Amino acid sequence: MTQHYKREPLEEDEMFLLKQACKTFEESLIINVLLETGMRVSELAKLTKDQISWQRDCITTYGKGNKRRVIPVSSTTRFYLSEYFKEQAKIKYGERWIQKTVKRVAERAKLMKKVSPHVLRHTFAVCYLHKGGNVRALQGILGHSHIQTTDMYLNYSGIRVIDDFKRVWEQ
């Protein structure tokens, strides 16, 4: 029997399994920061200590087209980055290494979906909206020039659709 992997955002239980499958601090850093910021793999690979405002809990980055944007930092992200940057001035991992790390952790978690840094970005976007975040704010966080690009993250399925239906229908 062939196993089918789908390229779609992770559900809550899958995010939990992915985080649990991390064996090293570096793996936990990569998985948690990507899941909780929606950063592109290229942005994480180029991240420096100077880009982080610990007072404002945000990261200033330059994404596609060298556009400046501000990414809010959760307490989990703050923990991992502050620990990492005690010893380092910049992220020492390249894009390919980060991609391989995400794949390795996902395989260890035995997820039945294709997991990549971009899937974690997609997961962040869907979770943000599912928790009540504003689509325009998400557009800014992700660095999208056009709202239509952000709207594609609204195409989610699975347990989130069921939960949303019950919330709306059974009021």
Query: What CA–CA distance (Å, rounded) separates 125 from 120?
Result: 9
64 a catalytic residue: yes
> Is residue 115 within 8 Å of 10, Cβ to Cβ?
yes
153 a catalytic residue: yes
Q: Which of 69, 80, 121, 156 is catalytic?
A: 121
Query: What CA–CA distance (Å, rounded) separates 119 from 113?
Result: 10
**What are the tokens at 161?**
């659709």
Q: Which of 69, 122, 128, 144 is catalytic?
A: 144
Partner residues linked to 72 by β-bridges: 58
Q: Which of 64, 67, 92, 100 is catalytic?
A: 64
Query: What CA–CA distance (Å, rounded) separates 171 from 161?
Result: 16
128 a catalytic residue: no
166 CB-near residues (< 8 Å, 6+ apart)? none
- From residue 35, how far is each of 31, 102, 104 by CA, in Å? 6, 11, 16
40 a catalytic residue: yes
Q: Which of 19, 90, 108, 118 is catalytic?
A: 118
**What are the tokens at 62?**
């330059």
130 a catalytic residue: no
Q: Which of 93, 128, 153, 156 is catalytic?
A: 153
Q: Which of 40, 80, 93, 128 is catalytic?
A: 40
Helix (H, G, I), strand (E, B) or coil at 58: strand
Residues with a known catalytic role: 40, 64, 118, 121, 144, 153
